[in-house]
Each structure stands twice: as C-alpha cells, then as structure tokens.
A = this chain, B = another copy of it.
Amino acid sequence: MNLIINTTLMVPIYEQIIDQIKKLIRDGELKENDALPSVRSLSKELKISALTVKKAYDNLEAEGFTVTVHGKGTYVAAANTELLLEEQKKELEADLEMAIQKGRRYGISDEEIRSLFELILEG
C-alpha cells in the first residue's frame, strides 16, 4: 500500500487517504474483494493516528467503495469505476470553471489566467 501523505497541504489527511484508495480502485490496482491493510498496520506505516485511518475507511464504506467485515477486515466492494471517474472529472471541471470565472470577475484576462495555470501545472 503505497500511499503518500503530505501534512503541509491544507487537505486533511483522511481525505488524502480516501482519494488515493479511490484512485487505486479505479486503476484496478485494488480489485473487488481485495483486502485493505488493517487500520493499525496502515496507521503504523503512515505514522499517523489509527483514528485518522479509521475515519478514511468509514468514509469509503459509507460511499460504497468498501465493505467491512467485523473481526476480519475491510474489503474492496464491487464498484462502478467508470461512474467514479466521471464524477471526479465533473468535480474537477466545476472547480476549474469556478476559478476561471473568479479570475474573469477580477478583470484578469484569459491569457493571464492561462499562463498562471500553465505556471502551476509545469510547477
């Protein structure tokens, strides 16, 4: 389980875990019925609190990506990965659109917005 946690980001740790596990499922690296690492082992591996891992797993289960079997562990559920990808793209699209509209409201030209975007992407 190669997850990367960045505590300097303003994104909560548990959300970073959720995002990356979703990506693993979508990419097929985690398949239906595969076992996720136990809460304790993952928390040790990432050097974070077990409660934080638990919160991520709880969220994944609530969204239907995993199923937890009491006393056994957490497993990948059957998932519609295409649907997931579409949803994520729509979310990204909405974020980008909001940013662009805000820039235009501020009177910043499309050219400037684009160069700013490229600057960050090339980063």
Contacts and interface: CB of A to CB of B under 8 A. Distances in A.
A95 to B, nearest CB: 4
A87 to B, nearest CB: 9
Main SS of the interface on chain A? helix
Interface string A98-120: 11111101111010111011001
A80 interface: no
A43 interface: no
Contacts of A26: 106-107
A88 B6 CA distance: 26
B121 A100 contact: yes
Interface of A: 7, 9, 11, 16, 19-20, 22-23, 26-27, 62, 69, 88-89, 91-93, 95-103, 105-108, 110, 112-114, 116-117, 120-121
